[in-house]
Amino acid sequence: MNQSVIRLTRELNEIRKSNDLSIAVACRESDVRNVKATILGPPDTPYEFGFFEFALKFSREYPTKAPTVTALTTNSGRCRFNPNIYAVGKVCLSILGTWRGDRGEEWSSAQGLESILISIQSLMSSNPYENEPGFENANQPHDKENQKAYVLKIRHETLRVSIISRLEDYLGINPDGTVQPPPTVPEQDIYDDESSMMDSEASTVFEPFKDLCKRRFLWYYDTYLASIKVESGKVVDGAPFTKMPFEHAGNTMDGKFLYSELERRLKFVKERLDHETASWAAEGLIHKGKESGVAANLQRQFEQTVEHYKKQDSVTIDIELIDDNPFLWRVTYFGRPMTNLDGGLFNIHLAFSPRFPDEQPRVKFMTPFYHHQITTDGVPCYIPQRYDEGRHHIDAIIQLMEEESPPYDPRTQVNQEASKLYWGSKEDKREYNKKLRRSVQRSMEG
């Protein structure tokens, strides 16, 4: 095997195992040299929680030679998201050899896939205007106005292009708001004969981040909605974007502010995602009737998970199938004594896709629970140790509920009000604990 393939395979596995919330990578098993990556827009920037996709092509000379990197989130070549990320997809970085840099900034074999993606992410700053060469220290009054205007339009297009349009495409939502019928594809079972799936791999469009983006959308939906409300107060609906001095024909970010329309579209995406999740139960019963491999796997996992928790003295939970459907689990969590959750009774639903584990379960607290890592709609923000086992999802949810001193990570703060209180002053923290205990007490009432 070529040394570049060995090196690249190792780097891909390291990134996957790291569970980095900001970076995800994927490639076809048959083509490790062509990698797709998605970068989550950094918090507190106009790119916040956007999904930015890139294609990286590695030659046989890697790591001696840098890969070719192309930005794919460009609104079909019409949107330049950064002075260094062109509408045509070019990414200008000295380590890639696409831009002249200072001595020592050029590519070396010590760098790799992760360092490239981190370098690209660093371009997504709170003031991207200064990324343009010659504008690093621009501080004239007109520059300051341009900086504000640039941030305003990047935030709008991050919401419109990288989030809403992407999810609409994934969900088959047309520009007029109508929904396309689901595509008819041959039914395949990943737990049965895989040969037909391997044969059709080359003929299918490689979209490895669909499920990831859908799950993250559910995490950050409240944040997106709040951002629209804040940003819409800064601009006039229908006003055109301000053109930057470094933008020119074919490499610009043109458009106008349409936040009222974005809010409608965002809410409809959420509605369709909830509809998709609800449809998994009916699909699952069909798979159960056919005794498919995925149904048998989930039934087996359910039985093993029940037995596992029966042996656990440290936590009390009850797990059952809803309507005897292995694709829909109900977890009842009993609050641990002598903790903030003491006496609480929380019902949690796990909906499994017929395409599990390629599509991850969607979890929802049916009992309202005030927590900085649980959305107001009941969606928990967690990372399981293993994605392909239902038990590990439950383990991670319990850890989220019971952890008393979690490390601060703005990417996991999906309840804005609760987060501000939890990480605020001592008085704020006391108020947070009051609200949490109130939700625990209400869980016992109904």
| Active-site annotation, residues | 92
Q: Indicate the residue type of 276.
A: E
> CA 390 → CA 104, 239, 299, 330, distances in Å?
47, 48, 10, 12
For the record, the structure tokens of 408 come out as 């601060």
For tokens 């999802």, what's the residue?
A: 393
How many other CB atoms are found less than 10 A from the CB of residue 269? 23
Q: Write the CB contacts of 174 (distance below 8 Å, at least 6 apart in sequence).
A: 168, 180
Q: Are 315 and 335 in contact (CB under 8 A)?
A: no
How many other CB atoms are found less than 10 A from the CB of residue 421? 22
Helix, coil or strand: residue 183: coil
What is the C-alpha R_g of the chain?
A: 24
Q: Indicate the residue type of 422.
A: Y
Determine the Cα–Cα distance for residues 387 and 18; give it in Å rounded to an integer. Answer: 13
How many other CB atoms are found less than 10 A from the CB of residue 350? 20
User: H helices within 71-165, ranges in order?
Assistant: 113-123, 141-157
Q: Are 413 and 373 in contact (CB under 8 A)?
A: yes
Question: HSE (CB half, 13 Å, CA atoms) of 57?
Answer: 4
Determine the Cα–Cα distance for residues 158 and 46; give it in Å rounded to an integer. Answer: 7
